[in-house]
Structure 1
Amino acid sequence: MIHNLVGIHETVDYRTDTQICLYYNDEYENYPPHWHTSFEVIMPVVNTYHVACGDCHYNLREGDILIICPCMIHELFAPPTGERIIFQPGLSQITIKELSLITSIISPCLLITPEDYPQIYPEIQKLLLEIKEEYFSFAVYAEASIFSKFLEILVYIGRSRQTFNHPNTDLSYSRQKEYVEKFLFVTEYINSHFSEDLHLEEIAALAGFSKYHFARLFKQYTDTSFYKYLNQKRIEHAKTLLLDPQLTVIEVATQSGFSSLSAFLRMFKQLNKCTPTEFRNMYDENKTSRAAEQKTPVLKLND
């Protein structure tokens, strides 16, 4: 299933002239630790499936849905028999400001089951099955239809988490909308300035809150802390820089917004379970191995 893996970086094999890839996979094959810039959605249809992402291991039952965020290292383990949908949509060319908020809610991944998400699970499962049918239909405007359905899945998740984080809120609708707009602006600002020396107090003032009130609201609206969100953005950028052998680890740390090498090393290992050098070596070793395989002469039986 993984066709373009260099080290642990996968270049998703999108359908020609699109940013979508879907497999109805029945292979008895495990896939080593890897990451890519697309989302990944996995749903076993027949039998179970095991996924490791970060510190978490997920034993997916038939119908369970796991959504993995872009740039997250994960590993896949298949049973001897089984079938599953593996969908990889790339949203890099779609500019929607709410995506950052929803991605932070899902990050690093989100398991959606009938028990944990009874109100939205049926709709999300239905949309995923429709995506599969649309993908293999080769119909006109299939890509647009598929993206619209995936974005609808993200909206269901975002709105359900918003309700979960504010179950008994006394805020008026207008005030809630105002807060959402503010935190959309904040996350967009962080996404554009993460390599700079950003501090909680500075961003809180930019949003018009005290730092304590801001920290609490940021957690409510993004499902993560301010500094964790900031560091995740920095580490995502660092991964892409590490693929360039001309850059030293110190240069990668600096260009990603870290003020010290030790802070960068600590955060990188915390989020990826390996050091930046180990991450780079995995990329280089596999690249060298693939090059050697391509140079190996093929012996014909009649030679």
Structure 2
Amino acid sequence: MSHRNYTIKDTDLQKLNARLLSISFSKDEKDWKSVLHTHYFTELFYVVNGKGRFLFRDEVHSIKSGDLVIIPPYVEHTEQSIRGYSLEYYVIGIDGITFHPENDQTCVQVFCNFQEKTLITDLFVQILHEVKNQQFASDTICQKLLEILILRIIRSQRLVPAPIQSVRMTKECAHIKEYLDNNYSEHITLDTLTSLTHMNKYYMAHSFTKYTGLSPIQYLNQRRLEAACTLLKDTDHSISDIASSAGFSSQSYFTQIFRKNFGITPIKYRQEHNNTTI
């Protein structure tokens, strides 16, 4: 008989203070719109299968199975599948923490790949299972699994966890921004946004403008125009249908706003940006 005893060494590691907000599993088969959006929290975006692109405001990155993208709060982003390689991915939202490289204090988006991805994938699977089934102590188990996942990411990618201090007013403005990102095609007024935060209408509009540089309605129109541009490039839908899908009240109003922002009509834009590769 052989026997060997192993002792555990203490690690000088501060408490992570990361809180699990949400988890989802998605399969993008190009059957929904992909629009730049933000969150007030950090996101962990993990690709299980497929290939695609991950987009920021000024950057585009190729992504594939085993890739993990860490998106800090308030960074605009979205994802796109490549035809024939449908993306399957998990997204975890965590509050209270973000990350930066060991030699850089700037908390920017991080891309990494796990060649041995079974263990990482299993952690996402277990967290989703616990959230969906809601059995005894599921919340505690999810929190512990999240901490294990974070520690493995930190150890593998040589990252440093950084606490983030969330300001209530910033959260409220970010909540409005996220609502506009996700619901831009609906009929939205200042009263709609006021009801989300229970703030005074004019104070809400002023705070949002201070945070984003645009009024809520200006920001809404910008999001609608971005969605319309994608549809103009990637589909053969009629201008009327695109105007309606993007949330504009009429084709004439859509054309007016489009020309004001881009200096050309939607038809001319489609002719100049026709995308035959998507």
More helix, by proportion: 1
TM-score scaled by length of structure 1:
0.44
